[in-house]
Amino acid sequence: MTDFILVRHGETVWHAENRYAGRTDVPLTDHGRDQATALAAWAATAGLTAVWSSPLSRARLTAAPAADACGLAPQTDERLYEVDFGRGEGLTRDEMRERFPRELADFLADPVACHLPGGEHPRRAAARAAACLADLARDEPSGRILVVAHSTLLRLLLCHLLGIPLADYRRVFPRLDNGALTEIRLAHGHTALLSFNTPAPTQTPALH
């Protein structure tokens, strides 16, 4: 069996406005860097065997201190990129409502059948992330692997692995906090959810 600790990257400069950050390389805030430091403090005693992340800098810079704390080389995989939000990239929902109201309403009703215009199909995103984890589990059948990626991708991945309809990802997993820990176990073709959205032990939740 292989255990994975899935972590959403630290807070970014688009966080306060809740802008859709898919493939845009948005930098971390000071608080986001503090969340990476908290993750590293947890990782130092977590018994990790590998640290992987999305190639986007907000994920790499969240993962790097954790890898360093464990004496591991951080690695990236393009299959861990965030979902491409197409015409919604960089916009808030209010801005989308002004530019393409019908498409946004359809997306909010069913994000799989009606993904954002010009964006990546959620099934494809979930499948590529699941394939990445399957490869890592095959290479480390007794591993404990940290994976730092992105909110929408990780929630779609969890639904895919746990047999939950992808269209329900926002209802079943309404939030995934920056820097929080979600642990799953892959064994014999099955997935167990061990914990979800748990703050790193040294992390103090941000006030909003």
Which residues are catalytic, by number?
A: 9, 82
Residue 32 to residue 115: CA distance in whole angstroms: 28
The DSSP code sequence of 141-175 is TT-EEEEEE-HHHHHHHHHHHHT--GGGHHHHS--
E strand residue ranges, 54-198: 75-76, 144-149, 181-187, 190-198
Residue 100, token pair as written in the block: 């393409």
Residue 111 to residue 171: CA distance in whole angstroms: 11
Residue 168 to residue 164: CA distance in whole angstroms: 7
End-to-end Cα, the chain, rounded Å:
39
Residue 110 to residue 91: CA distance in whole angstroms: 19
